[in-house]
Chains A and B, each alone.
Chain A
């Protein structure tokens, strides 16, 4: 297992911080959005777009690219920020999030936004989308990989488990799911809304290789993605333990910031904590 350099991890931490600043700003400017689940997902998304994924921002539909599907579509501000930082579209466009005529819809639209691979938002469909892509890759004997991030709340959805069952049945070792296990959903803590535990055992029972990591620790994130790529004959799920609202103290673990924009005062405090406006 290659050990990842301190430089790489430092670079990813830097990119993640930029993404956090940008996404909080985007949601503040839009006046609505989902900061909590965007911030929890940020580090995994940063690792994907700045190290793991083989993509070409100049040719977003390059046939051999790796695919990323954000099944928890409401976290798209983190995705958009990563795509813009990676060069898929101009950074300035981030300020148009959720505005009339924008290419950056409130939930991902694959027809509008360069780099967005699936239209998601209504929960529980993205893993199935990824399975179609993974089966197509196998059929075409292409070696690209498919990554799908699902929210932990999406583990409530029956379709997630239909998908989980079929991915192992089809032996999709080119598919890697990441559960953003931030322990919260819109109405409150997942354990109070619909208990998911033992979550790892459930995925194991559905035939997946399961890796459990700290979803804010880049060494663990990168190691998990390496491991997932080496697993043959079955799909891998990375259960990334994360903190909703990670990086902004008053959003951390706060149900209120699942789907609410910060006000001016909150925005300024968030920017101070994140080291200044983007």
Chain B
């Protein structure tokens, strides 16, 4: 599938830009890093506001619990590291110090999913959405492209409470149809259609749009929903889409067993019985490689979404 026409931009750069602006506008913003400030781009904030940036070294447990102490003192805290080290490595610190007491801490994770590429499985967390989604009080956000990352960072800064926001390392296609009205907890329809709904999150939203264009050639009119908040899930938009189109495909750069697709499946099982198929990483760890090649190898392409669509369309036809 050709993405040549899409402009690609860095989510990390847009996060850094939003954070810097927030730092200029608000004195209550404090930023924590764990020896990855140049990789996660908090170094941009640190350069202008060294007194409000704390690099605690390779000590993520300490970072998360310090973040809670800052929040308990009235600060809005951004704690940033790789997704693997900002979730699984510190699950208990997030659980007890941040989520349980509802501390105003934003965990901004970069390098999520397998598009990390060469670093391999130790650095490619595929279950971070599951871990964070499991926590009471936690909001989970996965922006689709770089401009939406900027909007999402602005939005979570205004929201009081714990947030997990994940993005990848690789540049991602910028999606022209994403508007400037990002709202936490709201899915947006990027393309209307009546035959099937493709629900994407993160980098897979662009794949959904490419797949939808291809499906048009087959006479299939696909709706594309950008599920940029995974928790709380926009149940209203989901159920409406399922009822309007009668079939659902989800797509995420995350383990397919426990991520956004699983959350959607649970809601559909209870609220709207339509044929459904999940596209995502199977129940395996990642590996080193080129990120585009890994996306193909692990089934994260527009072709995979088209195949899944064929499957739900067949079942939808059978059900009718």
Contacts and interface: CB of A to CB of B under 8 A. Distances in A.
Contact of B52 (A121, A132, A139, A162): A139
A167 to B, nearest CB: 10
A165 B55 CA distance: 13
Interface residues of A, number: 32
Size category of the binding interface on chain B:
20 to 34
Contacts of B30: 136, 139
B73 interface: yes
A138 to B, nearest CB: 9
Determine the main DSSP class of B at the interface with A.
Answer: helix
B155 to A, nearest CB: 24
Interface stretch (B58-66, B181-189, B287-295): B58-66
Contact of B96 (A125, A131, A135, A137): A125
A170 B57 CA distance: 12
A36 to B, nearest CB: 22
Contacts of A159: 59, 61-62, 65, 93
Contact of A110 (B67, B72, B75): B72
Contacts of A128: 61-62, 64-66, 68-69, 93, 97
A257 to B, nearest CB: 25
Contacts of A166: 56-57, 59, 62, 66
Interface string B75-111: 1000000000000000011011100111000000000
A45 B65 CA distance: 23
B42 to A, nearest CB: 16
A111 B72 contact: no
A117 B72 contact: yes
A120 to B, nearest CB: 7
Contacts of A129: 65-66, 68-69, 72, 97
A109 B101 contact: yes
A132 B101 contact: no
A133 interface: yes
A16 B72 CA distance: 28
Interface of B: 30, 51-52, 54, 56-57, 59, 61-62, 64-75, 92-93, 95-97, 100-102
